[in-house]
A and B are shown apart, each in its own frame.
Chain A
Amino acid sequence: DAGVIQSPRHEVTEMGQEVTLRCKPISGHDYLFWYRQTMMRGLELLIYFNNNVPIDDSGMPEDRFSAKMPNASFSTLKIQPSEPRDSAVYFCASSTVPTYGYTFGSGTRLTVV
């Protein structure tokens, strides 16, 4: 298995632009999580899905952030409009059950200038 696949690996964008991050979970995993990592705030859970349905989005910082999972093999995290404070590494992770064995993707390093 190729593991959790995220794209792009790096994204540099100008303030005000729309940014879309993509994730392909491990086949057979029915839980998908989006995390944001910064030096100041550490690893924060933004949102997670079970069987493509959003279960908890209480970590989504603002209405500028949205996430979708149209099918079992694909999810997106969108920021519109982007701001410099959104600069961070965004990780996607997947799991077969909610209490075991999260596997993280390689992350997307987002820089908003």
Chain B
Amino acid sequence: GENVEQHPSTLSVQEGDSAVIKCTYSDSASNYFPWYKQELGKRPQLIIDIRSNVGEKKDQRIAVTLNKTAKHFSLHITETQPEDSAVYFCAAIPGNTGKLIFGQGTTLQVKP
């Protein structure tokens, strides 16, 4: 089955710097790759997603890139702010299974 690996597990940056989180997946049939942000004690919330027919997608300070050949995708956050501090999860859905498989999560700390 699908396996999603995420790294780093923790990331600390200075306010204003960029942050990059990387994920790899194992199932070449995976075609949908969302990213979720989870603040302490709250639910995971979708922040951006990308489909397998697109290489890059941007939404203000957030961007996601996808390399299907290498089977990896990344989240880029520019001009980080303290409110970006949270746990970020990547995920993948293999084929048409509907099963959203999550990476292990990255705890991002943005220092003011």
Please measure, in the bound complex, the distance between the C-alpha atom of A60 and the C-alpha atom of B112, giving whole angstroms.
42
Please measure, in the bound complex, the distance between the C-alpha atom of A56 and the C-alpha atom of B97, giving whole angstroms.
9
Given contacts A42-B105, A102-B34, whether A31 and B44 have CB atoms under 8 Å apart is: no
Given contacts A42-B105, A43-B89, A100-B49, whether A56 and B44 have CB atoms under 8 Å apart is: no
- Of A13-21, A62-70, A72-80, A104-112, the segment with at least 4 beta carbons within 8 Å of chain B is A104-112
Please measure, in the bound complex, the distance between the C-alpha atom of A55 and the C-alpha atom of B100, giving whole angstroms.
13
Q: How many pairs of residues, A versus B, come closer than 8 Å at their CB atoms?
A: 48
| Distance to closest chain A CB from B96 (angstroms) | 6
Is B26 interfacial (CB-CB < 8 Å)? no
For B32, the chain A residues whose CB sits under 8 A away are 99-100
Contact with A along B62-105 (1 / 0, CB 8 A): 00000000000000000000000000010001001111111111
The chain A residue sitting closest to B95, CB to CB, is: A99
The chain B residue sitting closest to A109, CB to CB, is: B41
Which of B46, B97, B103, B105 is in CB contact (< 8 Å) with A102? B46
Is B43 interfacial (CB-CB < 8 Å)? yes
Whether the pair B43, A31 counts as a contact (CB closer than 8 A) is no
The chain A residue sitting closest to B103, CB to CB, is: A42
Whether the pair A55, B43 counts as a contact (CB closer than 8 A) is no
Please measure, in the bound complex, the distance between the C-alpha atom of A104 and the C-alpha atom of B45, giving whole angstroms.
7
The chain A residue sitting closest to B49, CB to CB, is: A100
**B: which residues have CB within 8 A of A?**
31-32, 34, 42-46, 49, 89, 93, 96-105
**A: which residues have CB within 8 A of B?**
31, 33, 42-43, 45, 48, 50, 55-56, 91, 93, 95, 98-107
